[in-house]
Amino acid sequence: MTDVPLIDQLAIAAVLSINPDHKPGVALNLERLLDQARLVMAVELTEAAEPAPIFTP
Amino acid sequence: MTECLGAAAVAAGVRARAFSAESVTQAALARIGARNPALNAYTDVLADRALAEARAVDRAIADGADPGPLAGVTVGVKNLFDIAGLPTRAGSRINRERAPAAQDAVLIRRLAAAGAVLLGAQNMDEYAYGFTTENAHDGITRNPHDEARVAGGSSGGSAAAVAADLCHVALGSDTNGSIRVPASFCGIFGLKPTYGRLPRTGSFPFVFDLDHLGPFARSAADLALVYDVLQGADAGDAACADRPVEPAMPSIGLDPAGLRVGLLDGWFRDVAQDEARAAVDAVAQALGAVPVTLPGAEQARAAAFLITAAQGANLHVASLRGRAGDFDPATRDRLLAGALLPANVVLQAQRVRRWFAEQAAELFARFDILLAPSTPCSATLIGQQTLRIGGADLPVRPSLGLLTQPLSCIGLPVVAVPVRRFGVMPIGVQIVAPPWQEARALQVAAWLEKLGVVGVV
C-alpha cells in the first residue's frame, strides 16, 4: 500500500498532472463516476456481450 | 410577416413568390437583433452570408428553378458544426485558436442544397459536456419562456433560438440528451435519430460511440421535413450507416391507430418529478399506452455516464495536460475525472450497452413505440446546483439527462415533443421507436399534435 491519495495514484497511471487547485472538483466527479462504475460492474454479462466497437479498418 | 410561420409554410410562400427569401431573412435578423442580446442564443450571426444565400434563392425562383423544399427557411446551428470561414469553437476557448473551417459541415451543405438560409452559430455547453448551456466563455443562454431559467443543453442556443423564433429550424447534437433536454425546457420539437443515421462529418466530436446530430423545429411536420433533407450516407463518418433515405414526410398525418404503445415505468418514473409524470401520462392516455418495464435502464444510464467521461477525457487529454486552466472549470473537472477511470470499468460499460440493447429489442418485439418523460422536471433556475429527485438532492448538471441517457446509450431514435401546458414552464416527452424507425416516431408526434396533446405554446 501507499500513502499517496487515490486521485494521485490514478493520475500517475494516466500520465496526468493535476493542479492541486483542481483536485477537489476532480475528486468529487471521480466519486460520482465510481458510484456509476459499481452499477455497471454488478451486471452479469455473458461472453456474447461484446463491447460494441465501431472501428472500421 | 413571416413571424412564427413554420418552415413548411415559409418554403411554400417563398416558392409561390408570396414573399421573398430576402424579406424572410431580414425579418429573422431583426428578431435576432431585438432578442438575442437578452437570450444569448447565437454566438455568431452571419448576416451578410444569410442575405446572400436568401438572394440566391430568390434569383433561382425568378429564373424558374426549384430552390428546394426548404426555400428561404432560416436555420441556425450549434457552434460545433463547421461553418466555412469560422473556427469551430464547440463552446470552448481552446478551439477558437483553430484555423477557420474550410467548408461547411455535410448537414449544413444538405440544408443549403434544399434552399435553407444559414443565420449563424449558436451557444452550447463547452465541448457539449453539460445540460444547461451555462457557458463560462460565451455566457448563459436564457430560456425564452423565463429568462431566469436555463434553456437546457448542451444544444441550448439552438433550442432557445427556435423557441424564440430567431430561426425556423436548427441543428444540434445529442450524446446523452443534448437535443431532447433543451427541446423539453424550451417547449419545442427535437429529433435524435438512430445512431449512424445522419453523418457527423464536419462537426466537432464529443463521444464517438454516442454522438448523434439532429434537428429542432416548432412542429412535428417541420421536423420531418428537415430530417428528410438531412438523410443519406456519407463516407466521412465511419459510423454513418449505408442506408437509403427513408422519408418520414409520407407518414405525417396518418393515424397511428393499431400501434402498440408502452409507457415506460420503473427508472423512467422513479427519477421524474410529478410534472414530468403528468406530462407523459397525458401522452400515454391519448395513445392508449400500457405500462411496461425496460430492464437495466439505470445500468445503461451508468454505462453512458462512464463512456462519456472516459472518451471525452481521452479526446481532450492533450489539452488537459497542457492547458487545463483554459477549460470551463466544470467541464475540466469532469474530464479529468474521466481520464482516471480504469479500463476495466469502461469496457464493462461498453458491454452493458450490448446487453441493454438486447433488453430493448425484446421489448420492441411486443411494442411499436415507448414513452418516457424527456426531463425529470421543467427548466431549472440559472445557477441552480441541486435537484430533488426520489427524496435525494442530486447535482443539476449531470442529472438532467437521467431519462435521456439510457436511450441514446443504445442509439434508439427519439422524438422529443412539448406537451401543451399553459401558464407554466414547458416540459417534453420522449417518443421512442425501434432502430431506424424515425418515421414511426414522427408520425406519432404529428398525430399527438393534431389531437392538441402536444405542440408549441
At B309, the pLDDT band (50, 70, 90 cuts) reads very high
Nearest CA in chain B to A34: B341
Output the nine-digit C-alpha cell for B210. Answer: 454516442
Q: Which B residues 181-210 touch A at CB under 8 Å?
A: 208-209
Cβ <8 Å between B299 and A19: no
Helix (H, G, I), strand (E, B) or coil at B192: strand
Whether pLDDT at A40 is above 60 = yes
User: What is the structure's pLDDT at A21?
Assistant: 95
CA nearest to B196, candidates B237, B256, B165, B148: B237
Q: Is the CB of residue B357 less than 8 Å from the CB of residue B407?
A: no
Condensed to tens digits (0 to 9), the pLDDT of residues B67-119 reads 999 999 999 999 999 999 999 999 999 999 999 999 999 999 999 999 999 99
Tell me which residue has cell 440559472. Answer: B382
Cβ contacts of residue B330 below 8 Å, gap of 6+? A25, B126, B130, B136, B397
Q: How far is A29 from chain B (nearest CA, A)?
A: 6
Output the nine-digit C-alpha cell for B329. Answer: 472549470
Angle of helix B220-230 relative to helix B106-113, nearest 10 degrees, comes to: 110
Whether pLDDT at B2 is above 70 = no
Q: How far is B388 from chain A (nearest CA, A)?
A: 17
Condensed to tens digits (0 to 9), the pLDDT of residues B369-427 reads 999 999 999 999 999 999 999 889 999 988 999 999 999 999 999 999 999 999 999 99
At A44, the pLDDT band (50, 70, 90 cuts) reads very high
Per-residue pLDDT, averaged over B231-256, amounts to 96
Output the nine-digit C-alpha cell for B421. Answer: 401546458
- Proportion of chain B above pLDDT 90, given as a percent: 98
Q: How far is B81 from chain A (nearest CA, A)?
A: 22
- CA distance linking residue B320 with residue A18, whole number of Å: 9
Nearest CA in chain A to B237: A56
Condensed to tens digits (0 to 9), the pLDDT of residues B139-180 reads 999 999 999 999 999 999 999 999 999 999 999 999 999 999
Output the nine-digit C-alpha cell for A39. Answer: 452499477
Condensed to tens digits (0 to 9), the pLDDT of residues B116-133 reads 999 999 999 999 999 999
Cβ contacts of residue B291 below 8 Å, gap of 6+? B262, B263, B265
Cβ <8 Å between A40 and B340: no
| Strand blocks (E) in B211-335 | 212-217, 261-264, 290-292
CA nearest to B198, candidates B172, B222, B234: B234
Q: Chain B within 8 Å of A57 (Cβ-Cβ)?
A: no
Q: How far is B138 from chain A (nearest CA, A)?
A: 22
**Other residues' Cβ atoms within 10 Å of the Cβ of residue B293:** 14
Q: Which A residues 10-39 touch B at CB under 8 Å?
A: 10-11, 13-19, 22, 25-30, 32-33, 36-37, 39
Q: In one letter, which amino acid is A20?
A: P
Cβ <8 Å between A52 and B239: no
On the question of a cis peptide bond just before residue B154, with omega within 30 degrees of 0, the verdict is yes
Domains and CATH numbers, chain B: 7-251 (3.90.1300.10), 261-451 (3.90.1300.10)
- CA distance linking residue B63 with residue B51, whole number of Å: 18
User: What is the structure's pLDDT at A50?
Assistant: 85
Q: Does B154 qualify as catalytic in the annotation?
A: yes
- CA distance linking residue B96 with residue B228, whole number of Å: 32
Q: Does B192 qualify as catalytic in the annotation?
A: no
Q: Does B78 qualify as catalytic in the annotation?
A: yes
User: What is the structure's pLDDT at A17?
Assistant: 94
The pairing of strands B74-78 and B169-174 is: parallel
Q: Chain A within 8 Å of B180 (Cβ-Cβ)?
A: no
Cβ <8 Å between B340 and A49: no
Cβ <8 Å between B336 and A17: no
Average pLDDT of chain B, as a whole number: 97
Per-residue pLDDT, averaged over B38-64, amounts to 98
User: What is the structure's pLDDT at B386?
Assistant: 95
**Other residues' Cβ atoms within 10 Å of the Cβ of residue B278:** 14
Q: Is the CB of residue B356 less than 8 Å from the CB of residue B409?
A: yes
Number of separate helices (H) and strands (E) present in chain B: 16, 17
- CA distance linking residue B289 with residue B130, whole number of Å: 32
CA nearest to B28, candidates B99, B91, B76: B76
Cβ <8 Å between B349 and A7: no
- CA distance linking residue B195 with residue B207, whole number of Å: 12
- CA distance linking residue B99 with residue B359, whole number of Å: 45
